Structure 1
Amino acid sequence: MKHTITLGTLMLAGALNGCSYLERLERRLTPAAPRPAPAASQPTRQVNITLANTAWVAFAIDGAAEVLAPKPMLRWLDSEQISGTGGCNLFTARSRRTQDALRIASLIPNGKPCLTLPGSQEDLFFKALEQTRRFKLDQDQGHQDHQDQLVLENESGHVLARFLRTD
């Protein structure tokens, strides 16, 4: 039997191999049990936190309450520079913030590219970043650690993604 290795097979193998490091990193940075968005009965309070020098892991994207490992992560290196992973692909981006307005632009992948299918978790994550126009920083009063939450919204206030602070 003759085995043929196609370019697609090589790309898939590289993508799977390239994600193993990110999976280990994600396990170390992910809080033990991220909680879904607080229900109406669980009060949240607005928190005044700067985004510079903070790290976040996604626990809800595009309304899906469960984000699969490896989970997308964001890190604000300073007030305007972001780095992170969509779960497999590493990226850098620029952010511009004024009060509760936030725009994330110039998403640039870096490192080994991974295959991303349209509609996949990573694809939805990158689209959420590109569509972000507002954000909220909340503290989940229903969670025992009162973890900080970053909520990204589009222009009309629709929640695109939710993150828990990891640093």
Structure 2
Amino acid sequence: MKKASIALIVMACIGACSSQPQRTISLPKVTDKAMVKDRTIALAGNQVSVYGDMPDNFDNTYWQFIHVQGQRLATGDLAAVLRIKTGDLYGTSGCNDYTARYRRDGLWLAVSALKMGNQPCDSLVSQDQLVYKALSQVRSVRLLQSNDNLVLLDAKGSVIAELKALKLPTS
């Protein structure tokens, strides 16, 4: 696959990203056997199977960070969430809202123009930094075959973060 070029601009975050109800749903599994290649990645020291492609609806999804760089993140009102909407990423780190642009080419994902608020977050400083770092370093994405969780990978193919699908908030 060819890598995506980066030419992106900033979009303002839609307010109150973290106040939406968070109910878990699963993304549709890729059923076309030609798309499901035998691929594995290392996750928490184990080899796990991933899909070889992303579903068409990936560009309109909502996710909650489960862990970043092996560290479990907060849940509930303090959960870090990510909204993906055709070219835009936005959400909250649990404390600060963020916004960015992205370009995807298959499994490759290029994030740019990442901006995050700077509200003091005494109890969530580490989580705030982890979310920012994960979004800054992501270069590709995969869906786990076992549970349809999203994994963010860096340029070396190492797992940066794992996220679970949430129901899209209603506008």
Counting aligned pairs with the same residue, the percent is 27
Residues in 2 aligned to 1:40 and 1:128: alpha-carbon distance in whole angstroms: 20
SS at structure 2 position matched to 1:139: coil
Q: Could you tell me how far 1:136 is from its partner in structure 2?
A: 0.8
Among 79, 89, 92, the residue aligned to 1:85: 92
Q: Which residue of 2 aligns with 1:101?
A: 108
Residues in 2 aligned to 1:123 and 1:135: alpha-carbon distance in whole angstroms: 20
Question: 5+ residue gaps in structure 2?
Answer: 1-15, 26-42
Residues in 1 aligned to 2:112 and 2:64: alpha-carbon distance in whole angstroms: 19
Give the ranges of 4+ consecutive aligned residues of structure 1 lying more than 2 Å apart after TM superposition: 21-25, 37-41, 116-119
Instruction: Point out the structure with max Rg over C-alpha.
Output: 1
| 1:122-141 map, 5 Å | 122-140=128-146
- Structure ranking higher in helix proportion: 1
Contact 1:63 1:159 in 2 (8 A): no
Give the root-mean-square deviation of aligned CA atoms. 2.8
Among 50, 58, 63, the residue aligned to 1:56: 63
Q: Could you tell me how far 1:138 is from its partner in structure 2?
A: 2.2
Question: 5+ residue gaps in structure 1?
Answer: 1-20, 141-146
Q: Which protein, 1 or 2, shows the higher relative CO under an 8 Å CA cutoff with sep ≥ 6?
A: 2
Number of residue pairs matched? 130
Q: TM-score, normalised by structure 2?
A: 0.64
Q: TM-score, normalised by structure 1?
A: 0.65
Residues in 2 aligned to 1:75 and 1:23: alpha-carbon distance in whole angstroms: 11
